[in-house]
Amino acid sequence: MIKKLIGLAAVVALLTGCAQLPQSGAIGVGPDVSAGDNTDYLYYSPALPSDGATQQDIISGFLSAGNGPQFDYTVARSYLTLSEQTKWNPSDQVLVQDGAPSFDYVTPESVRVIVKIVATIDKYGAYLPAAAGTTRVLDFTFKKELGQWRISSAPNLTMLIHPNFQVVFKAFQAYFFDKNHKTLVPDVRWVPSRSSTATRLTQAVLHGPQAWLAPALAETSGELRLRVNAVTVVDGVANIDLSAAAYKVSAKQLQYLKAELKATLFQLSDVTAISISIDGSPQTIADIAAHVAESATGSPIVLTAQGLSQIGSKTPIVGSQQVNAAIGTPAMDFALSAGQANLAVLNAYGAYIIDRGALANQPKLIDSREHLLSPVWDSENYLWTVSTTVASTWLATEANGATSIVIAPAYSESNVKSFSISPDGTRAAIISVGKRSGLWIVPIIRKANGAPAVLGEGYKVTYSQGAPKAATWADSVHLAVLVRNADHSVRAIISMVGGEDSLFPAVSGATSIAATISGPYLYARLADGTVVQSKNSIWSVVASNILAMHYPG
């Protein structure tokens, strides 16, 4: 289950007796949906249409009732004509609105609603942020039915202001296998926490990953669908009945699907097992091993004049004398693999791989270019290196020193300023300037042996607070980012990839950042070598004279 964001204080209280949630402004309280209950929850009680309601009453009441998804938006449907009630599909799209909508009555029987939005959620729960100032124009028509005005035509969507969205919707992870079917990769999806949550998450898995991420993952079968559009949960068992087309899918593909569905649905507190049927016939599908990448824990590793150690520990991981003796000159930066078995260091002459089990052995100089960025080990134990020069070649080196080139066509006319690899090894977060500027999340396309081959297109992440200057993965779905404001102050942000941001106070002089959601812990290294940690919205000094700071992996 997605863990709560660092520094995000959730104020939760039950809303009772509410006739209507406002369409603008701030809401400070709401029901706690963090438990992941798979039942219809009374988010609030929307009002039914009153006798003799005007068109304005009907359209306002309908939009407000979109905040109440219980029982498949029964109250919202009551504002529609009988024929439109069966046609309207509120799950096709959700608009997260910014402020109150405006109404333009084109004719006495039609109204145009204009609304500013900050994001949309598609029918499979994918969160798509909208550019600043984006508006949507929605057309509705009215008709009198049994003497009462009702909506005879409505777009297949619902609208929520941001505070309501945070109450009604919850972030889950839909899991998909990487190229080699070794690791399950999360793709964040937002769905209402209600009785249909298991159905919505199952549909997301069957539909497949988002298009930008798909090149980094194993291919999925486009033929898989639910026979009946419902997943029932009985005594902890989620019953998934696939259509007859699933008979065309191989036994191995069904094993992969079962592992993906288990990882996805086990986030729900009332699901402890799954049962898969095809066209009503129960299937016996063997379980297969499926790894989920773990995020780092505790405090980060730091490099000082004394060597490598963890913040708060007096026991060095590797002493500086051993490292410097191996590479000839003092180390300036480093990288440790996730299991800390592989070590890389950076000095004035380039990047080296050192055997931690035999430090006296000759280190391998694997990249002698100038202006190298901090090296990074990925989940397949490849060390990534790239310099800040224009169109610098990306190199991926195995622990034995064998180096290959990672093709990155999107960066042929840009300078890379910061990069980080996700714990599952399928995505890179890259900050660059030039033709491709800003922070981008891009898929890593690997060969059959796990070697990284290509950096895909991906998508750009923007911040209203300023320009990103450093980024690192905090876990498989969160980034820790330093953003420089227009006044040159720096602040830290935790971004959910496929979700929203959590902001932190300014941290003057910060040059790099390290974070883990499992703590939660957030650290920033300042230009003078001081390391500060975020504690209760205050940055507190925890170390000094630090040359470099990273979590393993």
Segment 105-159, tens digit of pLDDT: 999 899 999 999 999 999 999 999 998 899 999 999 999 999 999 999 999 999 9
Domain membership of residue 17 (yes or no) is: no
Kindly state the average pLDDT of the residues 186-195: 88
Task: Write down the pLDDT at residue 16.
Answer: 28
**By percentage, how much of the chain surpasses pLDDT 90?**
75
Residues 182 and 379 sit within 8 Å (Cβ to Cβ): no
Q: Quick check: 36 pLDDT over 80?
A: no
Domain that holds residue 269: 170-292
Domain membership of residue 139 (yes or no) is: no
The DSSP element (H or E) to which 181 belongs, if any, is none
Domain membership of residue 78 (yes or no) is: no
Q: Quick check: 9 pLDDT over 90?
A: no
Give this prediction's pTM.
0.88
Q: Can you count the helices (H) and strands (E) in the chain?
A: 7, 39
Domain membership of residue 54 (yes or no) is: no
- Going 387 to 390 to 394 to 400, the CA torsion angle's sign is negative
Task: Write down the pLDDT at residue 31.
Answer: 31
Q: In the structure, what pLDDT confidence band is assigned to residue 446 with cuts at 50, 70 and 90?
A: very high
Tokens standing for 414?
């840009």
Task: Write down the pLDDT at residue 12.
Answer: 25
Residues 187 and 174 sit within 8 Å (Cβ to Cβ): yes
Kindly state the average pLDDT of the residues 160-184: 93
Q: Alpha-carbon distance 381 to 94, whole Å? A: 40
Task: Write down the pLDDT at residue 43.
Answer: 55
Task: Write down the pLDDT at residue 44.
Answer: 64
Q: Quick check: 312 pLDDT over 80?
A: yes
Q: Look at residues 292, 325, 341 and tell me which one is the last residue of a structural domain.
A: 292
Task: Write down the pLDDT at residue 506.
Answer: 93
Q: Alpha-carbon distance 191 to 169, whole Å? A: 5
Residue the block writes with tokens 């296998």: 177
Better-predicted residue by pLDDT, 132 or 79: 79
Residue 397: φ, ψ to 5°: -120, 130
Residues in contact with 144: Cβ distance below 8 Å, sequence separation at least 6, in sequence order: 150
Task: Write down the pLDDT at residue 359.
Answer: 64
Kindly state the average pLDDT of the residues 180-187: 96
pLDDT tens, 85-107? 999 999 899 999 998 999 999 99
Q: Alpha-carbon distance 501 to 479, whole Å? A: 9
| DSSP for 531-547, written as a single string | EEEEETTEEEEEE-S-S
Kindly state the average pLDDT of the residues 396-410: 95
Q: Look at residues 247, 265, 292 and tell me which one is the last residue of a structural domain.
A: 292
pLDDT tens, 252-303? 999 999 999 999 999 999 999 999 999 999 999 999 999 999 888 899 999 9
Residues 356 and 403 in one domain: yes
Residues 323 and 248 in one domain: no
Task: Write down the pLDDT at residue 183.
Answer: 96
Q: Look at residues 266, 292, 318 and tell me which one is the last residue of a structural domain.
A: 292
Please tell me which of 37-41, 121-125, 324-328 the model is most confident about, judged by mean pLDDT.
121-125
Residues 183 and 321 in one domain: no
Q: Quick check: 17 pLDDT over 70?
A: no
Better-predicted residue by pLDDT, 117 or 37: 117
Residue 83: φ, ψ to 5°: -70, -35
Query: How many separate domains does the chain show?
Result: 2
Kindly state the average pLDDT of the residues 496-513: 94
Residues 410 and 473 in one domain: yes
Task: Write down the pLDDT at residue 439.
Answer: 97
Kindly state the average pLDDT of the residues 449-474: 95
Residues 411 and 534 in one domain: yes
Q: Alpha-carbon distance 94 to 116, whole Å? A: 13
Domain membership of residue 121 (yes or no) is: no
Domain membership of residue 11 (yes or no) is: no
Domain membership of residue 409 (yes or no) is: yes
Q: In the structure, what pLDDT confidence band is assigned to residue 360 with cuts at 50, 70 and 90?
A: low
Domain membership of residue 360 (yes or no) is: yes
Residues 454 and 306 in one domain: yes
Residues 208 and 332 in one domain: no
Residues 378 and 507 in one domain: yes
Task: Write down the pLDDT at residue 351.
Answer: 96
Residues 310 and 242 in one domain: no
Query: Chain-wide mean pLDDT for the chain?
Result: 89
Tokens standing for 294?
């773990």
Task: Write down the pLDDT at residue 313.
Answer: 87
The DSSP element (H or E) to which 207 belongs, if any, is helix 197-207
Residues in contact with 405: Cβ distance below 8 Å, sequence separation at least 6, in sequence order: 393, 394, 395, 396
Better-predicted residue by pLDDT, 247 or 314: 247
Residues 306 and 416 in one domain: yes
Kindly state the average pLDDT of the residues 162-166: 88
Type of residue numbered 235: D
Residues 367 and 508 in one domain: yes
Residues 432 and 451 in one domain: yes
**By percentage, how much of the chain surpasses pLDDT 70?**
91
The DSSP element (H or E) to which 59 belongs, if any, is helix 55-65
CATH number at residue 310: 2.130.10.10
Q: Which residues does residue 273 pair with via DSSP β-bridges, in sequence order?
A: 237
Weakest mean pLDDT among 50-64, 86-100, 190-204, 281-295 = 190-204
